[in-house]
Amino acid sequence: MLDTHARKYVNPIIELGAKFLLKLKLTPNNVTILALLLGISTSIFLYFDMQVVAVIVLWISGYLDAVDGAMARRSNSSSSFGTLLDIVSDRIVEVGIVLVLGIKFVDLRYNFIVLTACILMSMTIFLTVGALSEKKGVKSFYYQAGVAERSEGFIFFSLMILFPSYLRIITNIFSILIIVTAIQRFLEAKRLLD
């Protein structure tokens, strides 16, 4: 929801980063890899109980994840491989966080299994509709909006990292929002693809 509706407010900051990194002669794929490495380090910091650092690094990773696409559009270098790299990197970061939380909070493992299943279901719909749809927007594939998009994921992951005593409720709310998003996307897919 935030990615779709709040993007116009943060876009100037994203474009500023894209312009700066292009001046440094970095490619969009370089920045995607940098975002991935920072995202993976989030899980490492989380594992070693450095929660605040983990959250800061997560959000820097997320910022760079937005900047790489802006760089590709600005430099007219969007590619299918870049899209693939970006999407796979996003999932690696998310899975890393869920895995570390599952390792650290074994008593909540079923909550994390449900969360992972919800993410998998929603992303399967999202990616399949993107592949089957002929519609394209600003991004290099059809982007289905929903209640729980990347920004909401970062908010929930941040809450999970910073407030472990509320982990069960935060994880359950996040899972419900992802299921609502999956249903939204499925109903939109029926309309688009029928």
Q: What pLDDT score does 131 carry? A: 82
3-state DSSP of the chain: CHHHHCHHHHHHHHHHHHHHHHHCCCCHHHHHHHHHHHHHHHHHHHHCCCHHHHHHHHHHHHHHHHHHHHHHHHCCCCCHHHHHHHHHHHHHHHHHHHHHHHHHCHHHHHHHHHHHHHHHHHHHHHHHHHHHCCCCCCCCCCCCCCCCCHHHHHHHHHHHHHCHHHHHHHHHHHHHHHHHHHHHHHHHHHHHHC
Q: What's the CATH number where 118 sits? A: 1.20.120.1760
Give mean pLDDT, residues 89-117: 96
Summarize pLDDT for 160-174 with one digit per residue, the tens.
Answer: 999 999 999 999 999
How many separate domains does the chain show? 1
Which structural domain, as residue segments, surrounds residue 118? Answer: 2-193
Least confident of 33-47, 90-104, 119-133: 119-133
Q: What is the pLDDT of residue 80?
A: 87
Does residue 138 register a pLDDT over 70? Answer: no
pLDDT of residue 14: 96
Question: Binning pLDDT at 50, 70 and 90, where does residue 36 land?
Answer: very high
Q: Please give the mean pLDDT across all residues of the chain.
A: 92
pLDDT per residue over 68-83, tens digit each?
Answer: 999 999 999 989 899 8
